[in-house]
Structure 1
Amino acid sequence: MVAGGIVCETRSSCESFTKHSVPPLPTRPPPAPGVRRIHSIIDLWLGEQLRRRRQALGLPLQQVARACGISVSLLSQLERGLRSISMRTLGALAQELRLPIETLVRNTRYSEGEAEGAVARAGTHRRIDLGDKGIHKENLTPPAASGGVQMYRAVIDPGGSTGDDLFLTHKGEQVGYVIEGQLDLFVQERLLKLKAGDSFCYGGDMSRRWRNPGQTSTTILWAITCSPG
């Protein structure tokens, strides 16, 4: 078992170590100065790509927002990863910025007649490659799901990471399972070293970052609750 990044031989020794040696992680902390609050790491990456492309073309926010039929405020939030982007808006922005949408997201249609979207077959999951971060994510959630829980499969290249800065997302809980490889998970700058077979959880509004410190790819299965507010 693992307690605070330490592997324990038995449940009793792990509980004893945790009780006497490791202070519990604080819950629902206030955002620390300099910590970025974003909607998700995917939204942050997409926003970065759109902002870099817009700036490279020398286009002001107002011009791009007007051409895409959205407000300047919304475009600013999208570029900073504060809002999720719809496929319709992403398509409009990609066209305006002359950016092939295939470089941002691979989106395939679900098979018709699959119990009205209750089943998502292999090869039909929406995939986003965060290329410069070495992260590849698939949304495994069937389209008929209520939206209360989202499930993702993430493959992290050797050395891949969310970056050096801590970030926050929405309220809710995130639970993960390391299928293969290694993961360094920083929760409020506390390092948890994880390996294949380990599981973990944290609040969505707890500051964090993560990376693959190994020489092989790391695969994570993530379940994320989507609490309002």
Structure 2
Amino acid sequence: MAEPGVDASLDASIDDDASDRRLGECVRMLRQRLGLSIQELGRRTGLSIGMISQVERGLATPSIRTLRLLGLALQVPISFFFEERPTGPAPRYIVRRAQRRLLRLTRSGVLKESLAPDAPGRMEMYELTLSPGGSSGADFVKHQGEKAGYVLAGTLRLWLDHEAHLLEAGDTFRFPSTVPHMFDNPTEAPTRIVWITVPSTEA
């Protein structure tokens, strides 16, 4: 008979694989809709052809940085990559907790929950949960727009223009997205953050 923890770990691994496949299919669909080759998408994002190919085949879990670059190149907000909303009617301007859409980047130690309604709008708002060691990725990213956030629990290490800032519960931040940035959780406890992104209005 299997040990109690083994089945749970196996189920989690299966869920992770299914999530990676769904995300990869979404990226491939968007790329083909725009008539882009993997090579052209790589040129637009700065990502390697091998990385894009692995993401599309569900063989790699992209970081938040990678998803942001893909979203910009494929002309969709990062919320486009989230799982479908749970069944049931959803108010136009309200998001109930049970109706949040999720993005599981388990191998990166990140869970994103969309807090913004599906109605058209520029502002993106999420609740991020970072597992111990979870991060946005290994490299800095910058783009047009603005970002802000509020640390709900735990510790966030926010890197802005290569300078590290340790934020605790109750701390807030706001910065232009043109500032090179990345973030991670350097502690042994989960970190929860409300994260807001306002993309640029420039074409």
Q: Is TM (by shorter chain) over 0.5?
A: yes
Residue correspondences, number: 151
Residue number in structure 2 paired with 1:127: 102
Q: Is the 8 A contact 1:147 1:226 kept in 2?
A: no
Q: 1:177, CA displacement in angstroms? A: 0.5
TM-score normalised by length of structure 2 = 0.63
In structure 2, stretches of 5+ residues that fail to align are 1-19, 46-51, 53-68
Which of residues 108, 114, 132 is equivalent to 1:158?
132
Q: 1:181, CA displacement in angstroms? A: 0.3
Residue number in structure 1 paired with 2:183: 210
Residue number in structure 2 paired with 1:191: 164
How far apart, CA to CA, are the structure 1 residues paired with 2:122 and 2:164?
Answer: 29
Residue number in structure 1 paired with 2:141: 167
* Distance verdict in 2 for CA 1:200–1:110, change over 3 Å: farther
Q: 1:113, CA displacement in angstroms? A: 6.6
- Higher relative contact order by CA 8 Å / sep ≥ 6: 1 or 2? 1
Which of residues 83, 87, 93 is equivalent to 2:73?
83
Q: Is 1:226 aligned with 2:203? A: no
User: Which is helix-richer, 1 or 2?
Assistant: 2
* Distance verdict in 2 for CA 1:147–1:113, change over 3 Å: closer
How far apart, CA to CA, are the structure 2 residues paired with 1:185 and 1:86?
Answer: 25
Q: 1:84, CA displacement in angstroms? A: 4.6
Secondary structure of 1:123's partner? helix
Matches within 5 A, 1:1-229: 50=24, 68-73=32-37, 76=41, 77=44, 79=52, 81=70, 82-84=72-74, 105-109=82-86, 111-112=88-89, 114=91, 117-144=92-119, 146-169=120-143, 171-229=144-202
Q: CA RMSD in A?
A: 3.2
The one-letter code of the counterpart of 1:107 is E
In structure 1, stretches of 5+ residues that fail to align are 1-45, 55-63, 91-103
Identical amino acids, percent of aligned pairs? 26
How far apart, CA to CA, are the structure 2 residues paired with 1:209 and 1:222?
Answer: 13
Secondary structure of 2:99's partner? coil
Q: Is the 8 A contact 2:90 2:99 kept in 1?
A: no
Q: Is the 8 A contact 1:107 1:125 kept in 2?
A: no
